[in-house]
Amino acid sequence: MPDDSTPSEVWFLTARTDRFDYADSLLGRFIELLDDYPLIDSVGRGDVVPVKIHFGSRGAIQTVRPPFVAEVVNALKKIGAHPFVTDTVRMLGHEYLEVANRNGYNRATLGAPVFLADGIFGNDSIEMDAGELLGTQCVASAIHDAPSMVVLSHVKGHIQAGFGGAIKHVAMGGVSSHPRHGTWEKCRGKAHFLMGTIPEWKGVDTCNLCGICARHCPMGAIEIVDDKVIVSDDCWRCGRCISACPDQALFTPKDDDLFQEALASQARTVLGTFSPARVVYVNFMMEMQPECDCMDSCDVPMIQNVGVLIGTDPVAVDAATLDMVADAPLLLGSRADRLIRDGYDGRDPFGAVHLKNSWGHVRHAAKMGLGQVDYTIKRI
């Protein structure tokens, strides 16, 4: 648990440069940042350490770019650690590894093994007590068993969380999608479906029967039969079909604050497997699109590139992210057009787009002792 007696320090590297020289490029300065940052205080020599990223999807390619991941791998090797790059199963495992390779995440480009933390079938996990709200959650075994971890998060919007940063990344990306012993209630889908079972169909008066929901389902759990959308019990409760539906014809009852609390609880469960300050969080405020990287496509960025934040307090890193995103220019020709047109001057542009409170899970995480919203910035 981070010390709450003083604000947490978060290092910041701006995306701006005014010199056309490699040393002054964002990547060049990121390498210097990693050389200066005390990784050795969190990652021990000899640690087999996961570098947690999101592999993206077939059409969502605005993730953390491979050269940055490769430099984190190099920095870990310099201090005597043994890194591997990982994510958990989001579609069928073998397909997800192919997506990772296509998006540039492989041993040749990164200099480290790339594999799935919960196994090729998504069921290699350890059951953990997740508190009253979630009950039991299954943490991916390669994350559960690791002594330390580095989390590289692509900052973007999220249909339920408002925005996705370090906390959301750990919460959704650290637990299994399909536990070996148990139902969907022990996996990441529980947070999405606290108030419902499977997605419900509103009927043909709302739905145009386009089939996009079935195409987005990683389990093949959706069929269109006799002009009806049928969702079977094979559903993982990932919510991807609800996000993809252009007619909002699929839904589940929701309590937004309950979801935000569940997200923080999931993160607490994953991080409870590590000793204090043994996880380093790196938030990339670059190519900030309005939707999650899980989706099969990506919209244009809605906020100007800001830079990179790094620290060992996930609450402080996310709080600094939200503050800097709020100060950054909104981009014309993007999902932010409505905000620009309406003269938006609030402090949560992602939340304004999704009609959510992006601070919800951050403040819940602070209450749970995962960190503090007060921080100081060290500009690099």
Position 215 scores a pLDDT of 87
Using the predicted structure, report yes or no on whether residue 3 has a pLDDT greater than 70: no
Position 253 scores a pLDDT of 65
Extended strands (E) in the chain: 8-14, 48-52, 82-87, 114-116, 125-130, 135-140, 149-154, 156-158, 162-164, 200-201, 222-225, 228-231, 250-251, 279-285, 307-311, 375-379
Using the predicted structure, report yes or no on whether residue 195 has a pLDDT greater than 70: no
| Average pLDDT of the residues of the chain | 91
Residue 273 token pair = 């497997």
Angle between the N-to-C axes of helices 26-36 and 66-78, in degrees from 0 to 180, rounded to the nearest 10: 20
Least confident of 212-221, 231-240, 370-379: 231-240
Residue 28: closest CA among 66, 68, 75 = 68
Position 328 scores a pLDDT of 96
Residue 75: closest CA among 123, 13, 27, 115 = 27
CA trace torsion 322, 325, 331, 337 (10° rounding): 30
Residue 104 pLDDT grade (very low, low, confident, very high; cuts 50, 70, 90): very high
Domains 8-190+255-379 and 197-251 share a fold: no
Q: pLDDT (tens digit, 9 = 90+) per residue, 72-100?
A: 999 999 999 999 999 999 888 899 999 99
User: Nearest 5°: CA angle at 238, between 234 and 244?
Assistant: 105
Residue 348 token pair = 């949560």
For domain 8-190+255-379, give the fold: Rossmann fold (3.40.50)
- Per DSSP bridges, beta strands 114-116 and 156-158 are unpaired
**CA distances in angstroms from 36 to 11, 39, 130, 253, listed in the order given:** 10, 9, 36, 48
Residue 370: closest CA among 317, 332, 327, 314 = 314
Using the predicted structure, report yes or no on whether residue 243 has a pLDDT greater than 60: yes
Comparison of pLDDT for 11 and 297, the residue scoring more: 11
DSSP annotation string for 69-125: HHHHHHHHHHTT-EEEEEE--SS-HHHHHHHHHHTT-SHHHHSS-EEETT-TTS--E
First-to-last C-alpha distance (Å) of the chain: 26
Q: What is the CATH number of domain 197-251?
A: 3.30.70.20
Position 170 scores a pLDDT of 97
Position 277 scores a pLDDT of 95
CA-CA distance, 147 to 222, in Å (whole number)? 39
**266: Cβ–Cβ under 8 A, 6 or more apart, which residues?**
130, 134, 137, 170, 171, 172, 174, 175, 188, 191
CA-CA distance, 275 to 43, in Å (whole number)? 11
Residue 251 pLDDT grade (very low, low, confident, very high; cuts 50, 70, 90): confident
Supply φ then ψ for residue 115, to 5 degrees. -155, 175
Using the predicted structure, report yes or no on whether residue 187 has a pLDDT greater than 90: no
Q: pLDDT (tens digit, 9 = 90+) per residue, 19-40?
A: 889 999 999 999 999 999 999 9
Position 2 scores a pLDDT of 53
Where do the domains of the chain lie?
A: 8-190+255-379, 197-251
CA-CA distance, 277 to 275, in Å (whole number)? 7
Q: pLDDT (tens digit, 9 = 90+) per residue, 48-76?
A: 999 999 999 988 899 999 999 999 999 99
Percentage of the residues of the chain whose pLDDT score is greater than 90: 68
DSSP annotation string for 111-166: SS-EEETT-TTS--EEEEEEHHHHEEEEEEHHHHT-S-EEEEEE-EEETTTEEESH
Percentage of the residues of the chain whose pLDDT score is greater than 70: 96
Angle between the N-to-C axes of helices 314-327 and 166-173, in degrees from 0 to 180, rounded to the nearest 10: 130
Sole residue written with tokens 């397909």: 95
Residue 196 pLDDT grade (very low, low, confident, very high; cuts 50, 70, 90): low
Comparison of pLDDT for 302 and 220, the residue scoring more: 302
Residue 57: closest CA among 18, 87, 27 = 87
CA-CA distance, 64 to 69, in Å (whole number)? 7
Position 145 scores a pLDDT of 98
